Chain A
């Protein structure tokens, strides 16, 4: 089955630790995205990548880092510099519209709930 997987589903972090959230897709999508969602809030963009070995900061990149070494994978590291990391983290991907520079709709993974103890 084609789709996006995220792991782990739940993650607990002690203060001062770095943790890495996994995101893998087998949809052959070019673009991948990381969002953060807080209770009662909309999704806020952390980082996004349109091609391998390239990525751009979103609106709330401070305290996060990413890599895009393979088309299928876009892991997110939540560093100790992120002051309030407890949130629901969602990974998404989208394909490029044929013959155009723009992208189609996004598909989401099931998310990772991160809690700082």
Chain B
């Protein structure tokens, strides 16, 4: 079983739509959670960290559910520029290693 699992998509949505991605993780000892964005043939870039109480950054909202071991990312009012692959990342406290999901591809259409 993979450490971190994501729906690969693609999610095809019109501009202005709201879209949500989920990600599940297998190890309950997971300590930190992040969402990264990766454009085609580029390096991943940090989108936002995910805090236990949930957090928001502009049009982006991240939530963590430790009991069910999943995190989510909500994007409101989608822009064309949001088209990318979104990677869910989990860090385990004991090993200081980061585990990456395979990513969810988002295509925002005009």
User: A: which residues have CB within 8 A of B?
Assistant: 31, 33, 35, 40-43, 45, 48, 50, 58, 88, 90, 92, 94, 101-103, 105-111
Contact = CB atoms under 8 A, between A and B. Distances in A.
Given A58-B97, A90-B43, A103 B91 contact: yes
B43 A109 contact: yes
A101 B102 CA distance: 27
10 shortest A-B CB distances, which residue pairs? A42-B102, A108-B43, A43-B100, A42-B100, A103-B96, A111-B43, A105-B46, A110-B43, A108-B44, A105-B34
A17 B47 CA distance: 38
12 contacts: A42-B4, A42-B102, A45-B98, A50-B96, A94-B98, A102-B93, A103-B96, A105-B34, A105-B46, A106-B89, A107-B46, A110-B42
Nearest to A44: B100
Contacts, number: 50
Nearest to A113: B41
B49 interface: yes
Given A106-B46, A109-B43, 15 more contacts: A33-B98, A35-B100, A42-B101, A42-B103, A45-B97, A50-B96, A88-B41, A101-B96, A102-B93, A103-B96, A105-B32, A106-B89, A106-B98, A107-B46, A108-B45
A33 B98 CA distance: 10
A102 B4 CA distance: 19
A111 B43 CA distance: 6
A43 B32 CA distance: 17
B65 interface: no
Residue of A41, A42, A109, A111 with most partner-chain B CB within 10 A: A42
Interface in B21-37: 31-32, 34
A107 B98 CA distance: 12
A105 B49 contact: yes
Interface in B54-110: 87, 89, 91, 93, 96-98, 100-103
B71 to A, nearest CB: 14
Given A103-B91, A105-B46, A111-B43, A40 B98 contact: no
